[in-house]
Amino acid sequence: MKLSQAFIPTLKETPSDAEVASHRLMLRAGLIRPLVAGVYSYLPLGWRAMRKAAQIVREEIDRIGGQEFSLPTLSPKELWQGTGRYDEFGDLIFKLKDRRNRELCLAPTHEEVITDIARTSIRSFRDMPQLWYQIQLKHRDEFRPRSGVLRGRMFIMKDSYSLDADQEGLDAAYHRHREAYSRIFIRSGLKFFVVQASSGVMGGSESEEFMAPTAAGEDTVIRCSQCDYAANLEVAQSVPKPVQPLGEKGSRKVHTPDQRTIDEVSAFLGCRPENLMKSLLYIIEDKPVMILIRGDHELNENKLMALRGSNFRPAEADEALNITGANLGFLGPVGLKDAEILCDIGLREQTDVITGANEDDYHLVGLTPEKDFQVDSYQDLRHVKEGENCIHCGKPLNIINAIELGHIFKLGTKYSTSLGATFLDSSGEKKPIVMGSYGIGIERIIAAAIEQNHDEDGIIWPLTLAPYEVHILPIDMTNDQVSTVSKALYASFREHGLEVLIDDREESPGKKFKDADLIGFPFRINVGARSLKEGKVELKPRHERTVLQIDHKNALSAVKKMMEERHDVEREKLEKVSEKNIFT
RNA sequence: CGGGGCGUAGCGCAGUCCGGUUAGCGCGCAUGCUUCGGGAGCAUGAGGUCGGCGGUUCAAAUCCGCCCGCCCCGACCA
């Protein structure tokens, strides 16, 4: 491509509404332009990168037997009501009506559509396994689109769906995806790791996420400093720090006028927050449930949801008063009737705790679970905190931000059961199809690659995602020799199948260098009169500081050699995929 | 949805508090000449419903009201 003819509108200044690096650089390098909140147009350079990411994904899913579909984005409301997700997704679904007032929606994902096809065409165990996928637009009316392309309201997702006759089949499909995903992100040049995840509205049993660590990431992930343990904060576990008991003998009531919060009460009584117990009153499926958590811990609502479904909320102040007889701040489990009591496992061994007395301005001290109050069950309900230790090896855990690149789920029979997608097994018995669902956000591959690979001057593209591989930069197009050699190099690179761009504009060198750094292709070749006197040009890999002086006749072979070296590194990583969890 | 910020030329901003000529600056753009190894110089020029609607006033970018849009921070997802 000749830059003089290309549409690559770079920006010298950063648009004021871009905060994170990937958003800023994608705008500045002319990859995208905003249209409305959370919706972007891809300009030629950006779309080339997107197509490369999608192609890597396509190749790897094909490799494990995937068959690509093209599925409609417009779909009937009823299909989504069939699985209950019309309400579960709620306002997240874009809704519209056609001219005859039929209610339609824009698919936020495609499990329902796939299951609909499966139920009409998969009849026998002999028809399976199947692995179907698509790489297409999804629409979600996000509560809060943000960070540029990282969370848009329209985004391109690869989602594959495995259809199997039994659990073993699903396990195999899941495993193949796990491996394919690792290959995809290695080939995309990303740092990533796999974490245990929560299934959310997808339902199903096991699920894992592929995470790209970066400060711009919206997910919080727990990772052991020593062993392989890694989990999304939503489901992560840890060993809580031990507590020094206060040494109270037996329980007693103390006057704590106007002391409501953990901080207030602990300061008032001269103890530490961990000596207290939070008594949180929730309404779960219209019934009151008291949740007990150590004073310095936080309730993890994701864990609660995994346990009891999504129909819950904190009790209102007046409800709390009706149920316990006390105002918020003085609630407790002692003497509480007609409410279930759920206790976090972090409190199981604990004695000698302080909590509300169910009487305004009073707390109880010296309480011990089960002795002084009833516990209906112990559950893991709390958030992991910084500085806690790993449940597997006891070493410290780290809390880091990451971008969720992909998510793999064992759905099981949730969708096939609710939509009636069944088949006959070898003994003639009717069974629901066992399904898996596997997603990857294509723009997140691009955004994560930029987040992880940039400097103050611009993007540093991984070779495999770069819109072009080579950038030829003639320093002065008005110099005949420079112009001739540059054009000859351009022609020969093209002939040899390299993706090359030449900056044939009559611009000042400074501007050309700045643009080259900004759009950040892997290899740059500077052609200037100075070096050309000795027949040399400069080879500058974007990710290195060094500039190599090479004979212009050797430029092609030098670039090819460097590209080959990068592919070798990639191949080496790919070979190690099968058993490993962490890639850095 | 709750909280905060912003909306003036393609982009980045000043002017708004305290109303008063013809609404400015930088970048970019156009034309010409000069320049050519890290966002060149000079000259000339084009480009604006000051987010929208309504109100106050002799007079509104500026004050008031309503609305719209965008960004950032908190609960959901690829």
- Same domain as A339, residue A437: no
Phi and psi torsions of A137, nearest 5° = -70, 140
Residue A261 is assigned to a structural domain of this protein: yes
Alpha-carbon distance of A557 to A566, in angstroms, equals 14
DSSP H or E stretch at residue A551: strand A548-551
Smallest CA-to-CA distance from A223 within A190, A191, A201 is with: A191
ipTM, 2 decimals? Answer: 0.91
List chain B nucleotides near protein: any atom < 7 Å from a Cβ: 1-2, 6, 11-13, 26-28, 35-40, 69-78
Residue A400 is assigned to a structural domain of this protein: no
Residue A295 exposed, middle or buried by CB count within 10 Å (0-12, 13-18, 19+): buried
Strand B within 7 A of A94 CB: no
Q: For chain A, give the number of residues.
A: 584
Alpha-carbon distance of A312 to A283, in angstroms, equals 6
- Same domain as A433, residue A538: no
Tokens of A379: 């559950």
Alpha-carbon distance of A93 to A97, in angstroms, equals 13
Helical ranges in A310-413 per DSSP H: 317-324
- Same domain as A510, residue A475: yes
Using C1' positions and the CA of A406, the closest nucleotide is: B78
What's the Rg (C-alpha) of chain A? 29
Residue A230 is assigned to a structural domain of this protein: no
Alpha-carbon distance of A353 to A347, in angstroms, equals 9
- Same domain as A274, residue A325: yes
Residue A298 is assigned to a structural domain of this protein: yes
- Same domain as A161, residue A58: yes
Q: First-to-last CA distance in chain A?
A: 34
> At A165, which CATH number?
3.30.930.10
Distance A481 CA to B14 C1' (A): 47
Alpha-carbon distance of A543 to A522, in angstroms, equals 7
DSSP H or E stretch at residue A424: strand A422-424
Using C1' positions and the CA of A511, the closest nucleotide is: B39
- Same domain as A482, residue A431: no
List of A residues 447-506 with CB within 7 A of strand B = 457, 475-479, 506
Distance A36 CA to B54 C1' (A): 27
Task: Check: CB of residue A562 under 8 Å from CB of residue A523.
Answer: yes
Residue A551 is assigned to a structural domain of this protein: yes
Q: One digit per residue, pLDDT tens: chain A, 584 residues? A: 999 999 999 999 888 888 899 999 999 999 999 888 899 999 999 999 999 999 999 999 999 999 999 999 999 999 999 888 888 888 889 998 899 999 999 999 998 899 999 999 999 999 999 999 999 999 999 888 888 999 999 999 999 999 999 999 999 999 999 999 999 999 999 999 999 887 665 556 688 999 999 988 989 999 999 998 999 998 899 998 888 888 888 888 999 998 888 888 888 998 888 899 999 988 888 888 999 999 888 888 888 888 887 778 888 888 888 888 888 889 999 988 888 999 998 888 888 899 999 999 999 999 998 989 999 999 999 999 888 999 999 999 999 999 999 999 999 998 899 889 999 999 999 999 999 999 999 999 999 999 999 999 999 999 999 999 999 999 999 999 999 999 999 999 999 999 999 999 999 999 999 999 999 999 999 999 999 999 999 999 999 999 999 999 999 999 999 999 999 999 999 998 865 554 44
Strands of A214-306 (E only): list them.
219-224, 230-232, 252-255, 277-284, 287-294
In a 3-state reduction of DSSP, which class is residue A537?
A: strand
> At A356, which CATH number?
3.90.960.10
Residue A386 is assigned to a structural domain of this protein: no
- Same domain as A165, residue A79: yes
- Same domain as A88, residue A40: yes
Tokens of A488: 């000859």
Distance A34 CA to B56 C1' (A): 38
Alpha-carbon distance of A350 to A368, in angstroms, equals 7
Give A420's strand partners.
none
Location of structure tokens 């969890």:
A581
Give A393's strand partners.
none
Tokens of A139: 């629409």
Task: Check: CB of residue A190 under 8 Å from CB of residue A452.
Answer: yes
Count of domains forming chain A: 3
List of A residues 154-183 with CB within 7 A of strand B = 155, 157
- Same domain as A173, residue A142: yes
Location of structure tokens 């068959």:
A67
Residue A154 is assigned to a structural domain of this protein: yes
- Same domain as A181, residue A297: no
- Same domain as A473, residue A442: no
CA distances from A13 to A8, A459, A506, A542 (A): 15, 15, 21, 21
The 10 Å Cβ neighbour count of residue A270 is 8
- Same domain as A131, residue A81: yes
Distance A17 CA to B5 C1' (A): 11
Alpha-carbon distance of A278 to A355, in angstroms, equals 7
Last residue of a domain, one of A451, A486, A511: A451
Question: Residue A87: CB partners within 8 Å, gap ≥ 6?
Answer: A81
Helical ranges in A161-311 per DSSP H: 167-187, 262-269, 301-308
For residue A531, give its domain range.
468-571
Residue A368 is assigned to a structural domain of this protein: yes
Distance A19 CA to B64 C1' (A): 34
Using C1' positions and the CA of A527, the closest nucleotide is: B37
Last residue of a domain, one of A417, A451, A485: A451
Distance A446 CA to B50 C1' (A): 38
CA distances from A402 to A17, A26, A195, A450 (A): 22, 19, 11, 13
Helical ranges in A248-375 per DSSP H: 262-269, 301-308, 317-324
